[in-house]
Amino acid sequence: MRNSFTAAGAACLFSLLMQVVPVQAEPLPGVILSKPLKTTTRTTGYPSIGAPVAYSDLIVVYARRYGVPVNLAHAVIRVESNFNANARGSAGEIGLMQIKPATARMMGYTGSTKGLYDPETNIKYGMKYLAMAHDLGGGTTCGTILKYNAGHAATRMNPVSKRYCGKVRDLLDLL
């Protein structure tokens, strides 16, 4: 008999494990690695994936509603804001998904800029944009990240999008 978890349950469990189990930065004695281990901290650019439970439920709801893989949605939010609902980017990006007000309006949002700090609102409109990026990117991780990060019209990976895709892939590998 196979054990199964819901995506929200798995994300919650992973979040709890990340709080209890330390991240190993050095190999165990006698272990030979083909490549160096990466620490999974915000300062090195490889953050852990665990989401606060309240956000995880919203992420699952809107990812499923718009057809975005739940693990990809969690990884994008971790890279974008580290699950900080009050995050503000240097180019005017707001909240958990770092969505710009103009982009949210393009997705149907009619509220104020301040309203995008609300986690559910931010996830709803950010996830709509991510879903379009996922479709336009052919369903691939890096194609999706390119379209989400550089805009739906982007056709070539730039250095920022390459780094972003690498971070998302690293997070997806943790799951």
pLDDT at res. 64:
98
Give the domain range for residue 54: 7-174
pLDDT at res. 41:
37
Distance (Å, whole) CA 111 – CA 122: 11
What percent of the chain lies above the pLDDT cut of 70? 70
Distance (Å, whole) CA 37 – CA 57: 31
How many distinct structural domains can be found in the chain? 1
DSSP state of 99: B
Distance (Å, whole) CA 13 – CA 16: 5
Distance (Å, whole) CA 8 – CA 70: 9
Within-domain flag for 139:
yes
DSSP state of 93: -
Q: Residue 19 sits in a domain of what CATH number? A: 1.10.530.10
- Ranges of residues in the chain with a pLDDT under 70 are 1-51, 53, 175
Token pair 């189990």 in the structure block, residue: 21
Within-domain flag for 1:
no
pLDDT at res. 54:
75
Within-domain flag for 73:
yes
pLDDT at res. 90:
94
Within-domain flag for 2:
no
pLDDT at res. 51:
65
Our answer to whether residue 120 is catalytic in this structure is no
Distance (Å, whole) CA 143 – CA 168: 12
Q: Are 44 and 137 in contact (CB under 8 A)?
A: no
| Residue pLDDT, tens place only, 83-96 | 999 999 999 999 99
Within-domain flag for 87:
yes
Q: Are 75 and 49 in contact (CB under 8 A)?
A: yes
pLDDT at res. 174:
85
**DSSP string across 147-171:** HHHH-TT--S--HHHHHHHHHHHHH
